[in-house]
Amino acid sequence: MTDSKGFFLTFEGGEGAGKSTQISLLRDFLASKGIDVVLTREPGGSAGAEAIRELLLNGAEDKWDPVSEVLLFSAARRNHLQTKVFPALSAGKWVLCDRFADSTMAYQGYAYGEKSVPLSDIEALYKIAAGDFQPDLTFILDIPVEEGLKRVEARSEAITRFEQMKLDFHKKLRSAYVNIADANPERCVLINAADTKERIHERIVSLVMQRLF
């Protein structure tokens, strides 16, 4: 689906793990090396997908059931890839994406417990939305749930639907991300996100240098 010349890097992990912080530090580092970087996020990143983001993140916890969520995320993902990510990669840019398909798998595929969507359905919808496209490298930021949520509370931004979920939801989420990292060692690196911002950034830079330069 894309004649990719750039790299697509994704940042994953639970609420407050430090994804947005690290993505912005890496953007600054790459820009200082003269690399053309596009910073984006899911759900969202393009006009259509940002409109879907509003529907997904705001409102009551039970506003959507997990299947409806996967369908909305998939539509947003396709729009985002087609209108923003693929054109940037074709132009040789590096695209850094704050959350991507591993979050769909972790949230809708694991964290809802019995109400989770079968993994095979999530994989099938990914294929419909994105074809064979995969990130070149994924950082999974891992932090104890309570610590991540404490960071979110301290941040003074509006609380989203997912941040309102119960502690058990966030614990399932954390172990799902660890499973995803274990199952995809070529693509994913699990990062200890309880460390300082600076040390996490150094680790991410050294992994990028090792794997992509």
Ligand X SMILES: Nc1ncnc2c1ncn2[C@@H]1O[C@H](COP(=O)(O)OP(=O)(O)OP(=O)(O)O)[C@@H](O)[C@H]1O
Q: Tell me, residue by residue from 1 to 30, as one string, x for binding to Mg ion by CB under 5 A and - for no binding.
A: ------------------xx----------
Give yes or no for residue 160 binding Mg ion (CB under 5 A): no
Cβ-count burial 161-193 (b if 16+ within 10 Å, e if not): bbbebeeebbebbbebbeebbeeeeebbbbbeb
Minimum Å gap between C-beta 169 and Mg ion is 18
Return the DSSP state at 41: E
Tokens of 148: 């991540």
Give yes or no for residue 174 binding ligand X (CB under 6 A): no
Between CA 74 and CA 77 the distance in angstroms is 5
Residue with smaller CB distance to ligand X, 35 or 149: 149
Between CA 163 and CA 160 the distance in angstroms is 5
Q: Tell me, residue by residue from 140 to 169, as one string, x for binding to ligand X by CB under 6 A and - for no binding.
A: -----------xx--x--------------
**Which residue reads 């109400």 in tokens?**
115
Give yes or no for residue 19 binding ligand X (CB under 6 A): yes
Give yes or no for residue 196 binding ligand X (CB under 6 A): yes
Give yes or no for residue 45 binding ligand X (CB under 6 A): no
